[in-house]
C-alpha cells in the first residue's frame, strides 16, 4: 500500500499560530506518526481568519490539485471560529444558518471524492479579541462557539462524517486552558497544540486510516485520556 496523502483544510485551527516552535498540532502529530511507522504525507492548508464561505470557495480546487493522482487519501477539516467573530460596524461574519449551509456544502463535496474527517472548533477564552490582516478588530464570544459546535455535531451525524468534539474534550483539559489563557485567547501556545495533537491522534476515526496498532499517544510528556463522550465516530 502506498503512502496516505493527508490534506488538512480550515481556518486558524489548521495553522501553527501561537506555537513558538512553529510546527503546530500538525507537526506534533506528524512526528508521532513517523515514530509509529505510519506511511503518510501531510499537507496543512489553513488560512487564518477564513470564514466557512471563503473555505468553500477554494476547498475543491485545493484538494483536486493535491489528491487527483493519489490512490490513498484523507481529508480533515477544521473551521468555524472565524464565522462567529463579530464587531459593531459589521456584525457577525456569518450567521449560524449561513455557517451550516457552507459547512454542508464543503462536506458533501469532499465526501463525494475522499474519505473525510471533521474536527470541531475548540473552546477559546470566554471573550477573546482578534485583529485581522486589515487591522479590523473582531470579538469572539464563547457561547456562540458552543452553539455552533452543537449544530455542527448534528450536521455531521446527518451526513455520516466522523466528528471530533473538541469543545467536549478541551473544556476539561487544564493544559489547553492554560495555553489559551496565556496566549491571545484565540491561538493556543505550544502546549495547547500538543494537546490538540494528542486528542486527534487518539481518535478512532483518525487511527483507522493510519497505523491502527500504534501505542497510546504521548507528546512531549503530555498524556491525554480519550474522552468517550466527546467523540462521534
pLDDT mean values, one per 10 residues, the chain (233 residues): 88 90 91 87 93 97 91 95 91 96 98 97 84 82 91 98 95 92 90 94 92 60 38 33
Query: What's the Cα-to-Cα distance from 105 to each of 77, 78, 156, 186, 217, rounded to whole Å?
Result: 13, 14, 12, 26, 33
Residue 215: per-residue pLDDT = 60
**SS3 state at 126:** coil
What kind and span of H or E run contains 86?
Answer: strand 86-87
Phi, psi of 12 (to 5 degrees): -55, -30
Residue 3: per-residue pLDDT = 87
What's the rounded Cα separation, in Å, for the pair 112 and 169?
A: 29
List the strands of the sheet with 231-232, edge to edge. 40-46, 4-10, 73-78, 116-119, 163-164, 231-232
CATH 3.40.50.1110 is right for the domain spanning 4-232:
yes
Residue 129: per-residue pLDDT = 82
Residue 188: per-residue pLDDT = 92
Residue 36: per-residue pLDDT = 84
Neighbours of 145 (CB within 10 A): 21
pTM of structure? 0.88
- Concatenated DSSP letters of 17-77: TT-TTS-HHHHHHHHHHHHTT--EEEEEEE-TT--HHHHHHHHHHHHHHHHTT-SSEEEEE
Residue 217: per-residue pLDDT = 55
What kind and span of H or E run contains 6?
Answer: strand 4-10
What's the rounded Cα separation, in Å, for the pair 83 and 11?
A: 10
Residue 211: per-residue pLDDT = 79
Cell digits of residue 190: 505550544
Residue 233: per-residue pLDDT = 30
Amino acid at each position: 500500500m502506498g503512502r496516505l496523502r493527508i490534506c488538512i483544510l480550515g481556518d486558524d485551527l489548521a495553522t501553527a499560530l501561537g506555537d513558538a516552535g512553529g510546527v503546530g498540532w500538525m507537526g506534533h502529530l506528524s512526528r508521532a506518526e513517523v515514530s509509529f511507522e505510519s506511511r503518510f504525507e501531510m499537507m496543512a492548508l489553513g488560512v487564518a481568519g477564513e470564514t466557512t464561505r471563503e473555505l468553500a470557495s477554494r476547498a475543491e480546487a485545493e484538494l483536486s490539485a493535491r489528491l487527483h493522482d493519489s490512490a490513498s487519501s484523507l481529508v480533515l477539516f477544521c473551521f468555524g471560529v472565524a464565522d462567529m467573530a463579530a464587531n459593531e460596524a459589521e456584525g457577525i461574519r456569518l450567521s449560524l444558518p449561513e455557517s451550516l449551509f457552507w459547512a454542508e456544502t464543503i462536506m458533501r463535496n469532499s465526501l463525494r471524492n475522499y474519505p473525510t474527517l471533521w474536527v470541531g472548533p475548540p473552546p477559546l477564552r470566554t471573550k477573546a479579541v482578534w485583529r485581522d490582516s486589515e487591522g479590523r478588530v473582531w470579538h469572539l464570544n464563547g457561547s456562540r462557539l458552543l452553539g455552533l459546535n452543537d449544530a455542527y455535531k448534528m450536521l455531521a451525524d446527518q451526513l455520516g462524517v466522523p466528528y471530533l468534539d473538541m469543545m467536549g474534550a478541551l473544556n476539561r483539559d487544564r493544559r489547553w486552558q492554560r495555553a489559551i489563557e496565556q496566549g491571545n485567547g484565540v491561538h493556543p501556545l505550544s502546549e495547547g497544540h500538543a494537546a490538540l495533537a494528542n486528542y486527534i491522534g487518539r481518535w478512532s476515526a483518525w487511527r483507522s486510516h493510519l497505523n491502527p496498532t500504534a501505542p497510546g499517544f504521548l507528546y512531549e510528556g503530555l498524556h491525554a485520556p480519550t474522552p468517550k463522550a466527546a467523540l462521534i465516530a
